[in-house]
Amino acid sequence: MSEPTPVKKGKENRIGLDKGCYSGAASTLCLGCGHDSITAAIVQAYWDMGVNPYQVAKISGIGCSSKTPAYFLRKSHGFNSVHGRMPSVATGAGLVNKDLHILGVSGDGDSASIGMGQFVHLLRRNINMTYIVENNGTYGLTKGQFSATADVGSKLKGGQPNNLPPVDLCELAIQLDCSFVARGFAGDRKQLITLLKAAHSHQGTALIDVLSPCVTFNDHEGSTKSYNYIRDHYDPIAQADFIPSYDPIEIEHPEGTSHTVTLHDGSKVLLTKIKESYDPSRKAQALSTLERAKDENKIVTGLVYAPHRNEDFATLSNLVDTPLCHLSESELRPSQEVLQSINDSMR
């Protein structure tokens, strides 16, 4: 493994850590990879927020995207699991230690193909975590095959077009009532950082599908997941600003052109410069916005859907305050009298 990126001791955040504490080992991905931009955005967002890195568990599947947890948050436990199965590991770890902030990293092959079952069911359960899909429409580590998110007509490097309809993870998530659905772009760091902060503050599953071009296998003319194509068709729903709960500021709401989403911990996402009256709590509108944009060849980004939803799975499970993993024998083993009554019930 390469040496960790040397970071100069710099400015400290609100818990007294400099940004270097949020970095990881040097990336082994290709120069210019969208995933490295996402890594940088995670480092920035978590440092800005003053997240306690010990409290984060980084969990991933398999693929280029799933390698990235080694490149950020060096003080956090990491779990690079098996292909497509990050959601199940995250579910187990998150439920037995609800103090953990689960940061799941996956890719389009990982979540839209081999692991689609786990993706879908994690959303149904509304497991409390941030779920990042680093979506490049291709299998990078196996050298450039199409993934299930590739658009119809998008071409491989050798020119062969994809003719199967793509899986739109955001639309799928909205249908399943995922409690926070966002789409980002590795090339729009500012928006991505805002989305990451909001996702971290959200209680329940926060999905961010990040378009993240693969510079080696899917950044050519004819690909709809290239930097150029995405920039040319880029259409953020709104300008989004994150207002953390620990740092409330007075904000002005220009009438009719803004919308505020309040998150579980009291943080807010302020959406401004909305072109039409977009309300991310409305399912049908969220879906139709994504569909209409497709008809118009536009790529919508931003916080697409944030319904006032249901409780997350840990809350539904009505767990005790102590994380399950820290319960001791005296708290867990029923008494001799209990066993006696159980025996008596089987006579």
Interatomic CA distance for residues 287 and 107, integer angstroms:
22
89 residue type, one letter: V
Interatomic CA distance for residues 100 and 96, integer angstroms:
9
CA dihedral 321, 85, 230, 299 (to 10 degrees): -60
> Which structure tokens are listed for 14?
């609100």
Nearer of residues 297 and 317 to another protein, judged by Cβ? 317
Interatomic CA distance for residues 324 and 190, integer angstroms:
37
Nearer of residues 94 and 302 to another protein, judged by Cβ? 94
Nearer of residues 31 and 328 to another protein, judged by Cβ? 328
Closest of 75, 102, 94 to residue 206, by C-alpha: 102
> Which structure tokens are listed for 59?
């969990």
Nearer of residues 164 and 338 to another protein, judged by Cβ? 338
- Minimal distance, residue 123 CB to another protein, in Å: 11
- Minimal distance, residue 129 CB to another protein, in Å: 11
The residue ranges that bind another protein (CB under 8 A) are 1, 52-55, 57, 59, 69-70, 74-82, 85, 87-97, 99-100, 117-118, 120-121, 125, 313-314, 317-321, 323-329, 331-334, 336, 338-339, 342-343, 346-347
Nearer of residues 251 and 339 to another protein, judged by Cβ? 339
- Minimal distance, residue 22 CB to another protein, in Å: 12
Beta bridge mates, 75: none
Interatomic CA distance for residues 272 and 263, integer angstroms:
17
Interatomic CA distance for residues 312 and 108, integer angstroms:
24
Nearer of residues 120 and 287 to another protein, judged by Cβ? 120
Interatomic CA distance for residues 240 and 192, integer angstroms:
10
- Minimal distance, residue 154 CB to another protein, in Å: 30
- Minimal distance, residue 54 CB to another protein, in Å: 5
- Minimal distance, residue 339 CB to another protein, in Å: 5
Q: What are phi and psi of 14, to 5 degrees?
A: -70, -15
